[in-house]
Amino acid sequence: MQNATALELVKSIIGWPALLGNISGNMTGPGGGEMVLHADQIFVPEPWPAEPQGCNVSWCLDDFTEENGATRVVPGSHRRHTAPVASDQQTPTVPLVAPAGSIVVFESRLWHKTGNNVTKDQRRAGAFAWYTKPIYRQQENWFLSLDPRVKQFASEEMLILLGYKAEGLGLVNGVSPA
């Protein structure tokens, strides 16, 4: 979540400071089906603002191929400023093909889904970090889920990402909680 290249891309998309909203794993195995087409900005009322309010960074732990269920996107869908609805589920998508070790970054308005894994013997795994502008609440409450001692060992940047260093919103008695 603190990879320098990834954070530079996050900063270029949503600015700084930013919050780590969630981090999760996504894996599909042989015969795995596709996910529902969605966007990760459903926390924002529609129509969405012209600027993205969040972004995703995906670390490809395995090769992402069309055959093994690479994340699929609808190019240009971020300009629609709305989430897909049921009638959009058949919209054509393209796979985000990338070798293991790559990172894939896209803003949270982009429609996407996990693809079908049509292989007989390949899994596809990725680690997904989701970042938001600091005016939104994080999906994971880091204050409760992490050991409180994290504050004494974390970098300044990590304290900001986890919401321990606040500016404007999230203050406690008028000051940052860290």
Q: Summarize pLDDT for 123-171 with one digit per residue, the tens.
A: 999 999 999 999 888 888 887 888 888 888 889 999 999 988 876 666 6
Please report the pLDDT score of residue 167 as a whole number: 67
The reported pTM is 0.89
| Percentage with pLDDT > 90 across the chain | 75
Please report the pLDDT score of residue 152 as a whole number: 86
Whether residue 64 has pLDDT greater than 80: yes
CB contact at 8 A, 27 and 73: no
Tell how far CA 77 is from the center of its chain.
16
Among 3.60.110.10, 3.40.50.720, 2.60.120.620, 3.90.1150.10, name the CATH number for the domain at 23-129.
2.60.120.620
Cα–Cα distance, 103 to 128 (Å, whole number): 10
Cα–Cα distance, 24 to 40 (Å, whole number): 13
Whether residue 23 has pLDDT greater than 80: yes
| Token code pair at residue 161 | 């990402």
* Mean pLDDT of the residues in the chain: 92
Residue 178: pLDDT band with limits 50, 70, 90: low
- List the one residue out of 112, 39, 53 whose CA is nearest residue 82: 39
Tell how far CA 60 is from the center of its chain.
13
